[in-house]
Amino acid sequence: MIHEILNLLGKAICHQLEERSLHVSGAALSVCARDTGIYIGIFSTVLYLHIVKRKSIISIPTIKVSFLLLFFMVPMIFDGLGSYTHLFQSNNVRRLITGICFGFVLPYFLYPIYLGKSLAQACEPVIKNRRDFFVPLLFSSTLGGLIYFEVFPYYLWDSLIILSIIVWFSLCVSFLFPFIKQTFLKSIISFATSIVFLCSLSYLHTLLQNSNLLTLLNFSLKITKRILG
């Protein structure tokens, strides 16, 4: 039952190809190695910022630091494009590492906006010292290593990854409800909305896989290319 629920939520954002997924305790995780890295990275930075920075008045990183963070996102983009265009073959270790580098960057830009104080005059950058950068990076890298070497049981890691997906989507969805001022109520509504959204995406994914809609879509795209080309 738990496995089916985790797999359902994972399908919302991932192709779930078994050969591109990490295996723990003999079972494939509910998302691929790249998505595992991304959401482990997101989890690590969100956890750090929530513990250390949630009571601070913070803004997004400075321009100089932002360029450094964006540099960490390039390897996954390069690896993904190269793999999907068949320029070279990737592997799960590379997918995991580049996913972590990509994922741990994202909350630095979104979390300060989520707190709603990023425009205050007295705010300080979310990355103020080296610790703010290296602690989430080292923590996410450690988690990635523990997952890769199957240190703990499957359900622990799969539940953590799916929870990270839900939390991240809840954080993004919360921007749809700026009129809700009560933090707890806003969090509950955002959480419920993200669950519904992920389930809907998962069922849509299943529908496309199990029907002729995908074939029809591909056929339509080919016709369109021929007309335009």
Residue 181: predicted pLDDT? 85
According to DSSP, residue 211 is labeled S
Find out whether 93 and 157 touch, Cβ atoms under 8 Å. Answer: no
**Cβ-Cβ contacts under 8 Å for 126 (sequence gap 6 or more):** 49, 53, 58, 59, 60, 61, 108, 111, 112, 132
State mean pLDDT over 39-44. Answer: 98
Q: Bridge-partner residues for 24, per DSSP?
A: 27
Total domains, the chain = 1
pLDDT greater at residue 213 or residue 123? 123
Q: Rounded to the nearest 5°, which phi and psi values hold at 158?
A: -65, -40
Residue percentage of the chain with pLDDT more than 90: 73
Q: What range defines the domain where residue 220 resides?
A: 2-228
Q: How far apart are CA 34 and CA 22, in angstroms?
A: 9
Find out whether 31 and 226 touch, Cβ atoms under 8 Å. Answer: no
| Confidence check: pLDDT of 225 > 60 | no
State mean pLDDT over 42-67. Answer: 94
